[in-house]
Amino acid sequence: MRNQQKGLSLLGLILISVVLIAVAVVGMKVVPSVIEYYTIIKHVKSIAGSGAATVAEVRVAYDRQASVDETPSIAGADLDITKEGNQLVIFFEYAKKIHIMGNVSICIDYAGSSSGSKRAAD
């Protein structure tokens, strides 16, 4: 009987390492953008529930919170503010371009609202 070796060859180990490193690099570049998106959602929901009465008050309140948490992707002027029934609904959408390396980039389209629903394209 011949003994058969089991396990990974050096070439297999190198290829798996390259793939894992590539996934880690992309993840490290995308995760801050996703965290920023969830921070914006948190701000929008807190402002919608705060009882702000006018559009100007909502925009100023958002700009104040955005400057504290450093979320520069959108400003108060970029918010769409409506009233559905007795509830204030704040909607936003923006695109984030993330440079990966060389001429490779990822473009992510974010959209959200204080009511949790995504508005359909106009």
**pLDDT tens-place string over residues 61-117:** 999 999 998 888 899 899 998 888 888 899 999 999 999 989 999 999 999 998 876
In a domain, 5, yes or no: no
Asked if pLDDT for residue 16 goes beyond 70, the answer is yes
Residue 79: name the closest of 68, 67, 63 by CA: 63
Q: What is d(CA 1, CA 17) in angstroms, rounded to the nearest whole number?
A: 34
Predicted pLDDT at 32: 95
Structural domain containing residue 62: 11-113
Query: Whole-prediction pTM value?
Result: 0.81
State which amino acid sits at residue 90: I
Asked if pLDDT for residue 7 goes beyond 60, the answer is yes
In a domain, 121, yes or no: no
More confident residue, 95 or 55: 95
Predicted pLDDT at 90: 92
What kind and span of H or E run contains 62?
A: helix 55-69
Structural domains of the chain, count: 1
In a domain, 4, yes or no: no
In a domain, 104, yes or no: yes
Q: What is d(CA 35, CA 74) in angstroms, rounded to the nearest whole number?
A: 14
